[in-house]
A = this chain, B = another copy of it.
């Protein structure tokens, strides 16, 4: 969805069903959307503007006041815009402080008590002060772990675990999609080991990479290695990241050289996941670069590798 100023007010009015007089008024009163102009002063809207307008209209149609709807649109967008480009590439963590443990544990509480509205509220508040990167590392990640642990110890029902992890997964996916426009390089391939269904940390890695403007090819859960060969030849990924949570699936990763064709160390292959933390001896079993025991470490390692 581009920001290219392209559409005249007539098209926009007809396709959104908002009268042009109303569009004038919205821009005058709320500065929304701030359409670009031709040299002669005619308004030019982008696709993004149109999408914004459609969203606002849908909210208004369902009863929200215009000014509120526009404010909401703005704050939703602020979530996606938290990414701060610096002069030298991209800042991993804008220094705005770390979310407190109490915030993190209230999120866990809200989710395990099935109060999704409260979870929304909490995350919204946190997003006002922290970037998605920070929340991914310091809130979502710990929450996912806590949920996994509590479930293993029988403190949570499967249903609650499903609800909570799907909820967190949704946020992560959203941030992965709304990242900055990716650089024009070959993507980084992300996949779970064969038989591995826990994609939480893979998603987190995806979010962090995507937020640093890397294009990501996300293959998700349970990716059979043997099928990767042709795919990798096709898309020529910059790097391949494989993740395993359970030792069984980690062991399957050992045979990747058999399936992933390498020419002069390309694509570079990296791996990680909880399986390698709880059984460190697995690390030497799998060829390639071990990403370390935490997501933060993994991101550091990836940065190093990608810089070459």
Contact = CB atoms under 8 A, between A and B. Distances in A.
Interface string A101-131: 0000000000000101100110111011101
Nearest to A217: B163
A294 interface: no
A158 interface: yes
**Consensus secondary structure, chain A interface:** helix
A219 B162 contact: yes
A149 interface: no
A99 interface: no
A213 B63 CA distance: 11
Chain A: interface size category: 35 or more
A197 B222 CA distance: 11
A305 interface: no
A272 interface: no
A215 B173 contact: no
A219 B114 contact: no
B94 A14 contact: yes
B234 A114 contact: yes
Interface string A62-74: 1111011001100
B166 A220 contact: yes
Nearest to A190: B166
A129 to B, nearest CB: 5
A177 interface: yes
Interface stretch (A22-30, A50-58, A249-257, A284-292): A50-58
Given A63-B14, A173-B174, A223-B162, A215 B127 contact: no
Interface stretch (A138-146, A225-233, A295-303): A225-233
Interface of A: 1-2, 4, 6-8, 10-11, 14-17, 38, 42, 44, 47-48, 50-51, 54-55, 58-59, 62-65, 67-68, 71-72, 75-76, 92-95, 114, 116-117, 120-121, 123-125, 127-129, 131, 157-160, 162-163, 166-167, 169-171, 173-174, 176-178, 180-182, 187, 191, 197, 213, 215, 217-224, 227-228, 230-231, 234-235
Given A1-B123, A117-B215, A197-B221, 9 more contacts: A15-B94, A48-B124, A51-B128, A58-B180, A114-B235, A117-B182, A159-B223, A162-B191, A170-B174
